[in-house]
Amino acid sequence: MPEIKGTIFDIRKFTFNDGPGVRITIFMKGCQLRCTWCHNPEGRDPGPTEVETESVNPDGTVQQFREVIGREITTDELLDIILSEKRLMQETGGGVTFSGGEPLTQPDFLVPILKQCREEGIHTTIDTNGYADREVFERVLPFTSLFLFDLKHTRHDKHLDFTAVGSKKILENLSFLLNCGARIWLRIPVVPGFNNSRHEMAEIIDVLKALPGEIEQVHLIPFRQTAADKYRKLGYENRMQHVPSMLPARLNPYKRMFRRAGFEVIIGG
């Protein structure tokens, strides 16, 4: 396999929420969206990101230093890490998940790794915002066991206001994948002031019911206030800084709506 470099910012082993079984999750740099609630803003920039940070010494003095988030890695290096977990992944029905950031911003790096994983019998999941070009979805589709596909809002203007891109291309890509028979677990972040209402959930349900193919699961993910420190360190605007985390139980009415509409739905995931 030709050596190609990609940029990642984290590798987490023994993950449980990024697909079936026990998984290894690779967090890849670069994202086209700017979701106001993003938990991984350090993944937005395509290359390594330098930030000013500080630590407290044992004597109470504060030390400032530069921290680099993200690093280049070759396809071979990353495959070695993935393959080191092969036995555990296969024993638990798990696999590898490519997350981010947005993994489909690095298709030339991702596709050869997906191919090799497929040859090794490793289950592959792509956690995507759905905004890549169609040609990129066509390239990864033959080697992807499961898509965790984000659908945040169906309305173009609101999607644009809260994520910096509209919803049209994402919905078209979702429809394309379903038409091709791809396995989809749909992830809907429920965010106060954005889509946290019965009528907005009803709109999403109407759109989903009109799509071709079957969505295997719908995951409703409550907004969590967890990334304030990251925004501060990175110097990014944090529009959600005063919004409290949502209790998962708040999503029970939406769960019932999706269930009544015939979807298998869970809160979280």
Burial 51-63 (b: 16+ CB within 10 A, else e): eeeeeeeeeeeee
Cα 114 to Cα 108: distance, rounded to the nearest angstrom:
11
Please, what is the minimum distance in Å from the beta carbon of residue 108 to ligand SF4?
20
Please report how the helices 252-260 and 198-209 are oriented relative to each other, as an axis angle in degrees rounded to 10.
Answer: 30
Residue 129 engages ligand SF4 in binding (rule: CB under 6 A): yes
CB 97 within 8 A of CB 25: yes
CB 189 within 8 A of CB 158: no
Cα 91 to Cα 123: distance, rounded to the nearest angstrom:
12
Residue 177 engages ligand SF4 in binding (rule: CB under 6 A): no
> Which stretch in 38-46, 118-126, 213-221, 255-263 sits in contact with ligand SF4 by CB under 6 A?
38-46
Please, what is the minimum distance in Å from the beta carbon of residue 236 to ligand SF4?
11
Count of residues binding ligand SF4 (CB under 6 A)? 11
Of 36 and 145, nearer to ligand SF4 (C-beta) is 36
Mark residues 40-79: x for contact with ligand SF4 by CB under 6 A, - for none.
x--x------------------------------------
- Binding ligand SF4 (rule: CB under 6 A), the pick from 8, 24, 28, 31 is 31
Residue 85 engages ligand SF4 in binding (rule: CB under 6 A): no
- Binding ligand SF4 (rule: CB under 6 A), the pick from 26, 33, 114, 165 is 33
Place of tokens 């071709």: 212
Of 42 and 85, nearer to ligand SF4 (C-beta) is 42
Cα 145 to Cα 161: distance, rounded to the nearest angstrom:
32
- Kindly write down the DSSP assignment for every residue of 193-231, as one continuous string: TTT-SHHHHHHHHHHHHTSSS---EEEEEE-----HHHH
- Binding ligand SF4 (rule: CB under 6 A), the pick from 8, 24, 26, 38 is 38
Q: Which residues bind ligand SF4 (CB under 6 A)?
A: 31, 33-35, 38, 40, 43, 100-102, 129
